[in-house]
Structure 1
Amino acid sequence: MLADKIRTRRKVLGISQQKLAEISGIAQSSISRYETGDVDISLNYILKFAEVLECPPAYLISEELGLDAEQVQTPITKKELATLRAYAKEILAIVGE
């Protein structure tokens, strides 16, 4: 479940809800509600959580997509994410966007 994945990943990284709020720009009260599954999460927030929690978005929503944990790659690191962003910028520059 998405709520469980956010909470578990946050705890694995040793990040409090308050710290996650500061880093992501999402209110701590909202994070609390997301982690309990009380409210739905927008795609933009899923992407923010994935970035801050250093994991692919598919990892967070794997159950909702009907994927087993083995079908989703392990969470990526900040260094890997930075490399992907650099490649994306290069590709966009080449195609002119």
Structure 2
Amino acid sequence: MAHPIDSHVGRRLRQRRSLLGMTQQRLAESVGIKFQQIQKYESGANRVSASRLWALAEALEVPVSYFFEGLSSPEMEESTAAKAEADTISPEVLTNKETIDLIRAYYGLKEGPRRRLLDLAKTLAGAA
């Protein structure tokens, strides 16, 4: 069974790769491994070594800390459980093709229209 931290790192790896529109094959080639290894990392079946995590971070243009964002200790989880439910979305949402397409389109906009779109989305979400 995969360790929860390995699963979290794998989900973050998949999210970033998908957001960049990068295939498992292309990512694997950029760090000198087979795409099957990327599959194992993303599922949490295999643990990512420090040196490989560094190479993956460079290939995905993120700091190594990106892979650990969102993790917390069990003590912190208990004290922030109510806030987390209200403030977060399901991690699976970030793997949906529609979500990735929306994020790409959003960042394709110039800053002014991007802000207006964000304000509109917040208004619509508040009305729901």
Q: Which residue of 1 aligns with 2:67?
A: 60
C-alpha distance in 1 between matches for 2:46 and 2:30: 21
What amino acid is aligned across from residue 39 of structure 1 in structure 2?
N
Count, aligned residues: 66
C-alpha distance in 1 between matches for 2:46 and 2:70: 17
Question: Unpaired runs of 5+ in structure 2?
Answer: 1-7, 74-128
C-alpha distance in 2 between matches for 1:24 and 1:54: 13
Choose from 7, 13, 24 the match for 1:6: 13
Q: Which residue of 2 aligns with 1:15?
A: 22
Q: Which residue of 2 aligns with 1:36?
A: 43
Note the C-alpha offset of 1:27. 1.6
Cα distance per residue 1:50-73 (max 9 Å; x no partner): 000000000112345x39xxxxxx
Q: Which residue of 1 aligns with 2:54?
A: 47
Aligned: 1:24 with 2:31:
yes
Question: Taking structure 2 as the reference length, what is the TM-score of the superposition?
Answer: 0.48
Identity among equivalent positions (%) equals: 35
Question: Unpaired runs of 5+ in structure 1?
Answer: 68-97
RMSD after superposition: 1.5
SS of 2:33's partner is: coil
What amino acid is aligned across from residue 14 of structure 1 in structure 2?
G
SS of 1:45's partner is: helix
Question: Taking structure 1 as the reference length, what is the TM-score of the superposition?
Answer: 0.63
C-alpha distance in 2 between matches for 1:26 and 1:61: 22
Select the structure that is richer in helix.
Answer: 2
